[in-house]
Amino acid sequence: GQSLEQPSEVTAVEGAIVQINCTYQTSGFYGLSWYQQHDGGAPTFLSYNALDGLEETGRFSSFLSRSDSYGYLLLQELQMKDSASYFCAVRDRASNYQLIWGAGTKLIIKP
């Protein structure tokens, strides 16, 4: 079956850099997505990686290594508004190419 692992909680300081890791086990990997969700809100799309390497979008970057079944989300110059939960999600052939979601990482930012 498919499974994703990400830390349940990460704490960082405002202005710092934080990395949220995601490891996955799938039988037909297609791509890795990241979503942000504020408390009480809906998930919003951050990034998608289908190929190895780093994708950068402003303060956020996402990395994928298909050979290691591993990816991460890198957040730079942390701001208090970045306090949220971050979900990795895998698109997989075994799930008919629908997203399988991790349990989420709660990012706590301290001033």
Partner 1 sequence: NAGVTQTPKFQVLKTGQSMTLQCAQDMNHNSMYWYRQDPGMGLRLIYYSASEGTTDKGEVPNGYNVSRLNKREFSLRLESAAPSQTSVYFCAIAGQANEKLFFGSGTQLSVL
Choose which of 58, 67, 81, 96 interacts with partner 1 (CB under 8 A).
96
Output phi, psi for 95, to 5 deg: -100, 25
Output phi, psi for 93, to 5 deg: -60, -40
Choose which of 5, 60, 66, 101 interacts with partner 1 (CB under 8 A).
101
Q: Which residues, 10 to 69, sit near partner 1 by CB under 8 A?
A: 31, 33, 35, 41-45, 48
State the nearest-atom distance from the C-beta of 73 to partner 1, in Å.
15
What lies within 8 Å, CB to CB, of 81 at 6+ separation is none
